[in-house]
Structure 1
């Protein structure tokens, strides 16, 4: 177990460029948009007790640095906005609202076309195009693909299902029909 821990330290120092056994301690890595940053990864159980402790400490430091970065970015934005006039702030707000409005209108159009073409809702986001005609053409081609994949590959067995003989109404009729 001690050997695994040493290998982890060696790998860590090689990645950061620090020399093992001296010098400055490695600086924390810049925050990344890693969805598993605060959750257990696939190989975490192989690290052992010391490795898990180091990993938890690293994740805690990473979370702290991300919070500090967000606060620093908020302060930078505050300083940038301090010198702007009200008209500039309003024009920026209008531009962001127009961008949001355009995105929402395109999304609504995709869903309208999906409903009109009877395309499953989960596939509505996959539609490509900027006009209604382009979206409808894409929906038609997507429907062809979906219908090809949904067709059963097995032919029905004609021996299954309702036969020509009427069903017996009682147990005695079933028994007598069996022995005929």
Structure 2
């Protein structure tokens, strides 16, 4: 754990440009309402106060850079589209809609096969194949695996539960049945 802490300090000093071992230790910042910073990963609580501050700062910077990248990509797309004719723009739009339609049709077919084969909904996305027959074959093999895992390993005990002899209605019948 000491080594992990030292690596965090080294990363922090490299980011800020400060010399290791010199200057003041980084001061924790007040918590911000950054939704990504609040969703900690597994083991985040082990980082300590300074580690959590550094992690939140990294996540904030990452989010900012992703937003800048999306804006830059949109700007590039705008420059590329500037010189295109209306027919080229329409053909690109049609191509993207056809691709989306194909994906949606494949997803609908997977769910349809899953419903037909009574496969759990959570496993429908795992079906593989391009035709209905391939999807059905994959669903059958997946069902075999699911049924094997769900099959109980305990055999019923025949001595428990309702037996073959009728239950006596009175004490005298019970006594006579016992002495037979």
- Shared fold per TM-score greater than 0.5: yes
The answer to which of 16-25 and 70-79 deviates more is 16-25
Question: Are the counterparts in 2 of residues 16 and 26 from structure 1 also a CA contact under 8 Å?
Answer: no
Following superposition, the deviation at residue 122 of structure 1 comes to 2.1
Structure 1 segments unaligned to the other structure (5+ residues): none
Question: Are the counterparts in 2 of residues 110 and 135 from structure 1 also a CA contact under 8 Å?
Answer: yes
Structure 2 segments unaligned to the other structure (5+ residues): none
Separation in structure 1 between the aligned mates of residue 15 and residue 65 of structure 2, nearest angstrom: 19
Question: Are the counterparts in 2 of residues 31 and 66 from structure 1 also a CA contact under 8 Å?
Answer: no
Residues 104-143 of structure 1: per-residue CA shift (max 9 Å, x gap): 1111222222222222222222221111111122222222
Following superposition, the deviation at residue 62 of structure 1 comes to 1.9
The answer to which of 84-93 and 47-56 deviates more is 47-56
Aligned length: 180
Separation in structure 2 between the aligned mates of residue 54 and residue 160 of structure 1, nearest angstrom: 62
TM-score by length of 2: 0.71
TM-score by length of 1: 0.71
Following superposition, the deviation at residue 96 of structure 1 comes to 0.7
Residues 72-107 of structure 1: per-residue CA shift (max 9 Å, x gap): 221111111111111111111100111111111111
Q: CA 1:44 to 1:133, structure 2 compared with 1: closer, same or farther past 3 Å? A: closer
Question: Are the counterparts in 1 of residues 29 and 53 from structure 2 also a CA contact under 8 Å?
Answer: no
